[in-house]
Amino acid sequence: MDTRDWTDVSVNDAVQLADRVWWVGHALPDDKFQCHVYLIENGTDSVLFDPGSKLTFKHVLKKVEQVVPFNHIRYFVCHHQDPDITGALPLIDKLITREDAVIVSHWRAIALLKHYGLELPFFCVEENGWALKLSENRSLEFIFTPYMHFPGAFCTFDSSTGVLFSSDIFGAFTEEFSLFAHDESFFEGMRFFHEHYMPSNEILFNGLTKLEAYNITMIAPQHGSVIPTHMLDFYFKQLKNVECGIYTLAQTSADILHLSKLNKVLRDFMETMIIHKSFSDIGQSILELIRRILPVSSFECWAINESDLVLHICESNLFKGVRAEMPDGFEDTLGMDIHQWKMRFKEILVIDRSGDGTDSGHGPETCAYMPLTSSENVKVNGLVKMSFSTPINLDDETAQTLLQIAAPLSVAVEREMIQRSMELEKQRLYKQAMTDSLTGLYTRVYMNEALQRIFSIQDRNPNTMLGVIIFDIDHFKRINDTYGHNTGDEVLKAAAGTIMDTVRDSDIPVRMGGEEFAVFITGKDAATSDQIAERVRCRVEALTFSHPMEKEQLTISAGVTFRNPGQTLEDLLHQADTALYQAKKEGRNRVVISGSPAP
């Protein structure tokens, strides 16, 4: 049957939707919140979805019996625990005589359904791999859609037909009963249903995105109308943009348009928090969002950084923050317990109508101050000031919206401070990892990173030369044993300083470990690596020391070699070590060369 032609279907009887998939519900007169019941015909392992309430069950039973004997139903899937779909369970419990019949649901719903005191056992979807095999050719997959509209919400997908039993998702209020959504006009009832029924757009969007991964051919919701194939793309796309949870904003107002506008600001604000990481990026977006609902002339923030310095973050400094003092009247609020804030200011949102407008140039200025709290919501770690171009009277809903913005804004500011602290720590650790703390030379970590790039360049251009010198202080163990490690450290620093003073800025001097050093020389000067090594040797030999080393003469040995294209670092260092060993063997305080520069 072509779904596009289902305009004259009689709902007085069971209606076949797909291969062995039936609608067996009942339309209650003058009910805008119709509830649907569906049946999968599968012999003695048939499945009934969301059986309904006591008001409709006798009609459901009649239609089921038109397809299969009621006792052929083995599985009663309850997508949630609300009485409009589970109120008939006590009646079913009395009718079922087979011992293998079960109620299929999520544990969160089962925790409530058990209070019906039923004899029927429960089949917990998450304990059974989120699937139910009906036969060799047919199985059901349960799709977890938490918080749509309750924590344990899920949908059921019949892969053999592509029918999605979507529970409350895609539900709708309807002025007149219509089993099928024939066109786009049905969406308005769906919008109103989801705006007040689903907790947030983010939850709805994530759930819809999960469902889109399935090869759906038809959607069979609990409420509203069945959505045929040709309307799926439209309803998925439109539903993703619905503003949900709008009643959470209501304080005293019932103005849905105003609540919807405030809710859109909140949603866009959250998206801004997600998309952008740096506060300098999100600051301007925040200002523009608040201007949708209030005549804001400026938006400013104060926060404490990792050094306990106050940063002033505002449009004039591109929301990057500069050191500043807290505004008058709030000097001691940072670090204050939030309860102390409430005791002092009486309210979380502080409205100040005493400004004279001398700073803004807009006449009498109204300001709103709002604390930002730590992630534990105990201490005030930031302050927001919003200046308005004209004095205003905040309605309860707008004030509540600002307070809701404060929570993610607190996270954004705290994240900014943490990121700045992490960046400083990262720089410190990077420097620590790259530089030897005693000598100031590079570490082997930096050597490996730098040489990887240099080797790659030389391998692509064999004419590029690379020389390496390995130095080792002669008789260093005797110096340590005789004069102690403190004196030994001074000797190491002196030798390292001589090396750094001798080589070029572009060369890479490295402390290899202990009293051993290396210098990697690139470019044309690589050919003179032996001369550089000799200059270092002479300068080390000329070093003088104070007591107790005043009579000691320090010497150093060196091995010099040159890298050939394709040669590994391990092989190169071994080659240089061999030359160094030869220098030690020949009497120390000398330079030995192994090989020659590559042509």
Q: Where in the chain is the domain with CATH 3.30.450.40?
A: 254-425
| pLDDT, mean over the chain | 88
pLDDT band with cut points at 50, 70 and 90 for residue 442: very high
Q: Where in the chain is the domain with CATH 3.30.70.270?
A: 444-594
* pLDDT score of 286: 86
176: how many CB neighbours lie within 10 A of its CB? 7
Identify the weakest region by mean pLDDT among 52-61, 102-111, 349-358: 349-358
* pLDDT score of 503: 93
pLDDT greater at residue 599 or residue 34: 34
Q: Is the pLDDT of residue 171 over 60?
A: yes
pLDDT band with cut points at 50, 70 and 90 for residue 360: very low
What is the model's pTM? 0.49
CATH topology of domain 254-425: Beta-Lactamase (3.30.450)
pLDDT band with cut points at 50, 70 and 90 for residue 307: confident
Q: Is the pLDDT of residue 438 over 80?
A: yes
Q: Where in the chain is the domain with CATH 3.60.15.10?
A: 14-244
pLDDT band with cut points at 50, 70 and 90 for residue 255: low
Which residue type, as a one-letter code, is found at position 115?
Answer: H
Averaged pLDDT, 341-349: 87
Q: Which residues pair with 221 in a beta bridge?
A: 167
CA distances from 349 to 41, 302, 366 (A): 59, 16, 13
DSSP assignment of 150-181, as one string? STT-EEEEETTTTEEEEETTT----SS--SB-
Tokens of 180: 């099928």
Identify the weakest region by mean pLDDT among 62-76, 112-126, 181-195, 255-269: 255-269
CATH topology of domain 444-594: Alpha-Beta Plaits (3.30.70)
CATH topology of domain 14-244: Metallo-beta-lactamase; Chain A (3.60.15)
Q: Is the pLDDT of residue 3 over 50?
A: no
* pLDDT score of 37: 96
pLDDT band with cut points at 50, 70 and 90 for residue 100: very high
Q: Is the pLDDT of residue 234 over 90?
A: yes
| pLDDT single digits (tens) 35-47 | 899 999 999 999 9
Averaged pLDDT, 246-253: 64
* pLDDT score of 362: 40
Residue 562's SS3 state is strand
Q: Is the pLDDT of residue 92 over 80?
A: yes
Averaged pLDDT, 213-235: 94
Torsion angle of alpha carbons 39, 41, 42, 44, nearest 10°? 80
Torsion angle of alpha carbons 581, 585, 590, 593, nearest 10°? -50
Averaged pLDDT, 144-151: 91
Q: 27 near 42, Cβ under 8 Å?
A: no
Burial class (CB in 10 A: 0-12, 13-18, 19+), 343: exposed
Q: 141 near 159, Cβ under 8 Å?
A: yes
Cα–Cα nearest to 180, from 349, 397, 27, 362? 27
What CA–CA distance (Å, rounded) separates 571 from 578?
11
Tokens of 286: 């925040």
pLDDT band with cut points at 50, 70 and 90 for residue 248: low
Q: Is the pLDDT of residue 427 over 90?
A: no
* pLDDT score of 59: 95
* pLDDT score of 7: 58
